[in-house]
Amino acid sequence: MELLPEQLPAHLAIIMDGNGRWAQARNLPREAGHKAGAEAVRAVVTECRKIGIRHLTLYTFSSENWNRPKTEISALFALLLDFLRQELPRLEEQGIALKVLGDLDGLPLAQRTALRHAIKRTAPGSHMTLNLALNYGSRAELVRAVRSFLREGAQPEDVTEESLAHRLYTAGQPDPDLLIRTSGEQRLSNYLLYQCAYSELYFTPTPWPDFDAAQLRLALEAYAARSRRFGKTQEQIDAH
């Protein structure tokens, strides 16, 4: 099935789940699963850039992930540094702008510094935006937006869907058209709750390290086959 540009999501969001279970199934340490997951990130970013998806958001580290074992957290952040060092030239070359959704100030110094450097270096990229949701929680994001209103002395009539969206980390970007979650879980896990109000949801049992270009194609074909009505009837959609 050949997908036309208008059949692709303008914004694809992914919950990359299953690294640990992938490793455990192979009698490997969880860190090996995260390393394999980093390779899957490279493959999916490359494929999305190739086929023309303009915005890609990856749930990289949630605010709840701080509850994981310290050794696993250290391994995750070490992988993040490796990813940034290795991929920065490629991101620049391919015109991919890197952004972070989440509390950047709450990350360790080395990662915080590397991320800010990468964000600055890739800012001119106009072909694709790669959002890494790091130290991110959607409820905290909404609280942050409400506090912004209060600090500005906003009046009730100043609070609209548009003005709220402008205060989210994704300001200036379209809402995700499609949300993919790997490894069989079927929940949002505090991820882009406001932005995904009308997103199509796609759940696959495939663990993230095994999610490759072929798996992405299956998800995109399923998305292309759906009818997005946004409250209208199918007859209204067909009439236009």
Could you say which of 27, 65, 103, 135 is catalytic? 65
Q: Which two tokens stand for residue 200?
A: 């199509």
Give the strand order in the sheet containing 55-62: 96-101, 128-136, 55-62, 11-15, 178-181, 200-203
- In the set 17, 131, 175, 177, the catalytic residue is 17
Q: In angstroms, how far is the first alpha carbon of the chain from the final one?
A: 24
Taking the CA atoms of residue 166, residue 119, residue 17 and residue 7 in that order, the dihedral angle to the nearest 10 degrees is 60
Q: Is 238 exposed, middle or buried (0-12, 13-18, 19+ CB in 10 A)?
A: exposed
User: CA 133 → CA 5, 151, 175, 178, 225, distances in Å?
Assistant: 26, 25, 14, 16, 28
Structure tokens that stand for 21 in this block: 């279970």
Query: Is residue 131 among the annotated active site residues?
Result: no
What separation in angstroms does the CA of 104 have from each of 22, 24, 26, 130? 28, 30, 34, 16
Question: Please, are residues 146 and 165 in contact by the beta-carbon 8 Å criterion?
Answer: no
Q: Tell me if residue 65 is catalytic.
A: yes
Nearest 5°: the CA angle 93, 97, 104 is 130
| Alpha carbons within 13 A on the beta-carbon side of 90 | 12
Question: Mind telling me the catalytic residues?
Answer: 17, 65
